[in-house]
Amino acid sequence: MMTNAELISLSLRDAAAALRDGRTTSTALCTAFLERIQAVEPKVRALLAVNPESVLAQAAASDARRAAGAPLGDFDGIPITLKDNICAKDEQCSCASKILKGFISPYDSFVTGKLKAAGCVLLGRANMDEFAMGSSCENSAYQRTANPWNLDCVPGGSSGGSAASVAALETIAALGSDTGGSIRQPAAFCGVVGLKPTYGRVSRNGLVAFASSLDQIGPLSRTVWDAAAILDLIAAHDEKDSTSLPQQPEGFAADLEAFEQNPRLDGVKIGLPKEYYELEGMDPAVKQIMNDSIEVFRSLGASFVDVSLPHTKYAMACYYIIATAEASANLARFDGIRYGYRSPNATDINSTYEKSRGEGFGNEVLRRIMLGTYVLSSGYYDAYYLRAQKVRTLLRRDFQEAYKLCDFLLTPVTPAPAFHFGAKTDPLQMYLSDVFTTALNLSGDCGLSVPAAIDPASKLPVGIQLNAPAMEEKRIFRAGRAFELARAQKDFIAPLS
């Protein structure tokens, strides 16, 4: 049997093979991760909840199925972590907020149901920025998650707990949500792979809404193949989600296995958006790693073409108008009346609303609700929200025109490696962490963050971003896998003892 050190280092692909070949069991695998969590979680604080009894019970049920020759699939018995805004029946779903402390979900989200149907073990609940609002995981009401590469640095956000748990070898993979870069940015900061699927590719049913026209669930994993395999599990049409796209199984992982026989990109054209490479203030290390990555793709046979996304300069302003407007509408349900926190200091209906929200929501959530309510108010709707939606259309057209010239776009994920805690106290500085990622949520296309190299100065990982048209995940999976196999840095293991 394999040692614990070997087990926690397995990718999803290798863990599935080990289970299939009888080299380990789900119980042994999950026990190894539970012991790892016990050892490093006091330092990383990536998880809000872990129930060892439930985990081992799920693992034992998986082992029994395998012993009977009836596993539910290749990934039966593999532990996966959920971000704390994804519902799982009979588990607390708090969105890392005091206002939902103690709320037990009465049902499974669509993706949770898919994971259970595949036999996956739900390992724990990952910390996050409250209601997915943040870029550093500093806005959680419960704890501050650290970056496993440097415990004084942030893991990114809002899916910081999901990314950190994968990087710290506390889980094989995790699910997060991406509203403006909340999967891709923490994936880059923590040296893991992060996918934002096409909007509507994965059902949002059971995802607590932040901004409904931007939110998308996706995987964080150790390899591109793992991300593709998880997308195979969770991508399907859901009649309970009106934005869910009709689709047939595409076999992303199987396609990559065939591609690996000759992982070349001959004839592939890669677009380099000039607006992304001319940004003032980009860290020199990121510039150098991007240049080195371009040469890796060139060695794989790809060619490059310059493209322009002229409305990119409006993306951040557009995003923060639309996202906050939708947040103010979505979070109106948390009123201290129907469920969630109710202030004990309230004396009438008005004070119940005011005090429950004021005491239950954190500062960043209150800030965004107020901004969103303002841009939707009478006299300002046309000047802000309606205009932002028009700009969103222009941004989408920019991407469509760019994709006529190339197969996908190659860009940085972030302007710099992970920053230290407290380094971005100004909200506007914090928002700029997502300058390269928000436009993709506005366009609805798909994007993949892949670790590229370690910054020699900070010793922190830096990622690249591959963006492709809607429903073209296969393009970026192939490109990401080819890059992964060819890059100079082969392994991204955080130096966490």
Q: Is 297 helix (H, G, I), strand (E, B) or coil?
A: helix
> CB under 8 Å to 445, separation ≥6 — which residues?
198, 199, 399, 467, 468, 469, 470, 472
| DSSP 8-state secondary structure symbol assigned to residue 295 | H
Q: What angle do CA 384, 385, 390 make, to 5 degrees?
A: 100
- Token pair recorded at residue 235: 């991508």
The rounded distance, in Å, linking the Cα atoms of 37 and 44 is 9
Ranges of beta strands (E only) in 168-258 are 173-177, 193-196, 217-221
- Alpha-carbon distances, residue 423 vs 31, 138, 274, 427, 429 (angstroms): 37, 11, 28, 11, 9
Q: Is 181 left (phi over 0), alpha (psi -120 to 50) or beta?
A: left
Supply the DSSP string of 358-393, one letter for each residue.
Answer: HHHS-HHHHHHHHHHHHHHSTTTIIIIIIHHHHHHH
Q: Is 191 helix (H, G, I), strand (E, B) or coil?
A: coil
Q: Estimate the crossing angle of helix 252-259 against helix 224-234, to 10 degrees.
A: 150
Amino acid at 301: G
- Token pair recorded at residue 281: 């203030």
Q: What angle do CA 175, 177, 178 make, to 5 degrees?
A: 135
Q: Is 182 left (phi over 0), alpha (psi -120 to 50) or beta?
A: alpha
- Bridge partners of 153, per DSSP, are 420
The pairs formed by 239-244 with CB atoms below 8 angstroms and a separation of 24 or more are 240/110, 240/203, 240/205, 241/110, 241/203, 241/204, 241/205, 243/199, 243/200, 243/204, 243/212, 244/200, 244/203, 244/204, 244/205
Active site residues: 83, 158, 182
Q: Would you tell me how many other CB atoms lie within 10 Å of the CB of residue 25?
A: 20
